[in-house]
């Protein structure tokens, strides 16, 4: 979200006008570098979110909350990728840019909840003497 916010605020959203790769292919020149970094970070994050969802379903000890939030996050990743492509294709349509940001915030929330559920530390019970 930080890199995407920078891209938007700096007016660099259409620096790389093709999707998914920039005009020079996988390794662009410096003209496309910032937008390329945004796409690289997004692709890496998306891969990790989907892998987390798959792992939560494979792991027998994962609770319902973790399965729900990680699966919802994986669905949001696919939505976010689709919106990102549409934003580029439709030349930064303001409504789509706003929805892209909103889905990004919701995605962040689901990843955060998944992490919190995964690392939930139970409080030790205090036994009272009677």
Q: So which residues are the catalytic ones?
A: 35
Q: Report the C-alpha gap between 38 and 36 in whole angstroms.
A: 5
Of the candidates 23, 27, 8, the one whose C-alpha atom is nearest the C-alpha of residue 97 is 8
Region of residue 95 (left: phi > 0; alpha: psi -120 to 50; beta: else): alpha
Residue that the structure tokens 């139970």 belong to: 122
Contact between 70 and 128 (Cβ < 8 Å): no
């Amino acid at each position: 979200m930080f890199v995407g916010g920078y891209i938007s605020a700096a007016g660099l959203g259409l620096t790389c006008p093709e999707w998914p790769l920039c005009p020079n292919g996988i390794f662009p020149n410096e003209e496309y570098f910032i937008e390329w970094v945004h796409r690289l970070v997004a692709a890496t994050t998306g891969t990790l979110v989907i892998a987390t969802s798959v792992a939560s379903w494979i792991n027998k000890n994962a609770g319902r909350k973790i399965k729900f939030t990680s699966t919802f996050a994986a669905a949001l990743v696919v939505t976010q990728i689709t919106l990102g492509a549409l934003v580029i294709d439709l030349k930064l349509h303001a409504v789509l840019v706003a929805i892209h940001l909103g889905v990004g915030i919701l995605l962040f929330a689901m990843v955060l909840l998944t992490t919190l559920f995964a690392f939930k530390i139970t409080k030790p019970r205090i036994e009272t003497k009677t």
